[in-house]
Copies of this chain bind each other. A is one copy, B any other.
Amino acid sequence: MTTYYEEYSKVLVSVDCIIFGFDEGELRILIGRRNMDPGRGEWSLYGGFVNSTESLDDAANRVLFQLTGLRNLYMRQVGAFGNVDRDPGERVISVAYCALINVNDYDVRLQEQHGVKWVSLKEMPRLYSDHNLMVAKAHKMMREKISCEPISFNLLPNLFTLTQLQKLYEAVCGESVDKRNFRKRVKEMDFIEKTELIDKTTSRRGASLYRFNRKAYDDSPNFKL
């Protein structure tokens, strides 16, 4: 291959993943202790370097698969972080990606194997390098999207109750909302379908289980909470 641009310096590029989950009414992200120098032992997002043969998105998907064993996760780019000294080792530019998963889909043994765990956003420790900035930006993106895009369903089981959906919404926004108004808005969206199934695990009475119908959503994508 002909080489162009010879005179310019190259840098390492990595991807770092902000993986959100929702459990026990709390929004959580996956973090682990860094197992390489520099910064060994510090809390950190899970990440990896971008290979020469893969796009940024490919790299993020690979890293996510490595960690979770899951494919086709909902994933969005958060942004590129490129301060010169952001990595104490050497110059590394990192592209942050945000992913949403249903915590039940993520095997606890895989978590232990990779040394990561779910930590509530409210109890987020100080993270390696600029990872707290990445988390903050990802969380901001989520807050902006939660009421106009159907992203919640990536964090919930296929079948979920309206109370779960509402608690998730409240956890992301950081404020509580009126139950009747919330349900009124849900009822407007035909692609959130009530099933005949009842979840009896959280109350004596039991709560109807709902399902997100993506096909119906794609037909008329009007999401508003």
Closest to A84 in B: B55
**Chain A, 76-113, contact with B by CB distance < 8 Å: what is the 0/1 string?**
01011111100001111101000000000000000000
Query: Can you add 10 more A-B contacts, CB < 8 Å, to A3-B89, A5-B92?
Result: A3-B90, A4-B89, A5-B89, A9-B49, A10-B11, A13-B93, A50-B82, A56-B83, A80-B80, A82-B95
**A49-B4 in contact given A54-B84, A77-B80, A84-B54 (Cβ < 8 Å):** no
Q: Is the CB of A51 within 8 A of B9?
A: yes
Q: Is the CB of B13 within 8 A of A90?
A: no
**A84-B53 in contact given A10-B12, A90-B5 (Cβ < 8 Å):** yes
Copies of this chain: 2
**A93-B10 in contact given A49-B5, A77-B79, A82-B50 (Cβ < 8 Å):** no
Chain B residues, CB < 8 A from A10? 10-13
State how many residues of chain A have any CB contact under 8 Å with chain B: 37
Q: Closest CB-CB distance, A89 to chain B, in whole Å?
A: 4
Q: Closest CB-CB distance, A83 to chain B, in whole Å?
A: 5
Please report the C-alpha to C-alpha distance between residue A161 and residue B36 in the assembled complex, in whole angstroms.
Answer: 58
Q: Could you list some 15 contacts between A and B, CB below 8 A? A: A2-B89, A4-B38, A4-B89, A5-B49, A8-B12, A10-B12, A11-B11, A11-B13, A13-B82, A50-B93, A56-B81, A56-B82, A57-B82, A77-B80, A93-B93
